[in-house]
Amino acid sequence: MIKQKDKSSDALLVSGIKQGESQAMEEIVRRYSNKVYNLAFHLTRDQSAAEEIMQEVFLTIIAKIHTLTNNAFFSTWLYRVTTNAAYGFLRKEKKHADQSNIDDMNEEPSADYDWSTLPDDILLSEESREVLRSSIDSLPETMRTVVIMKDIEGFKNEEIAQALGLSVPAVKSRLHRGRLLLREGLSGYFRKYSDNPGGL
pLDDT digits (tens, 9 = 90+) for 18-44: 999 999 999 999 999 999 999 999 888
Q: Rounded to the nearest 10 degrees, how much is the dihedral formed by the CA atoms of 50, 55, 58, 63?
A: -130
CB 117 within 8 A of CB 125: no
Measure Cα distances from 108 to 50, 104, 150, 184 in Å. 32, 11, 20, 10
Residue 140 has pLDDT above 70, yes or no: yes
SS3 (DSSP) at 20: coil
pLDDT of residue 136: 83
Distance of CA 142 to the CA centre of its chain: 10
pLDDT of residue 135: 81
Entry pTM: 0.64
Domain 4-92, CATH among 1.10.1740.10, 3.30.1300.10, 3.90.600.10, 3.40.50.2300: 1.10.1740.10
pLDDT digits (tens, 9 = 90+) for 49-97: 999 999 999 999 999 999 998 888 899 899 989 988 988 888 887 644 4
Percent of the chain with pLDDT over 70: 72
> What rounded mean pLDDT belongs to the chain?
78
DSSP conformational letter for 97:
P
Contacts of 49 (CB under 8 A, 6+ apart): 40, 41, 86, 89
Read off the pLDDT of each residue in 91-118 and give the average, rounded to a whole number.
48
Report the distance separating Cα 148 and Cα 155, nearest Å: 9
pLDDT of residue 64: 92
Residue 181 has pLDDT above 60, yes or no: yes
Identify residue 14 by its one-letter amino acid code.
V
Is the domain spanning 110-195 CATH 1.10.10.10? The answer is: yes
pLDDT of residue 15: 94
Per domain, the residue ranges of the chain are 4-92, 110-195
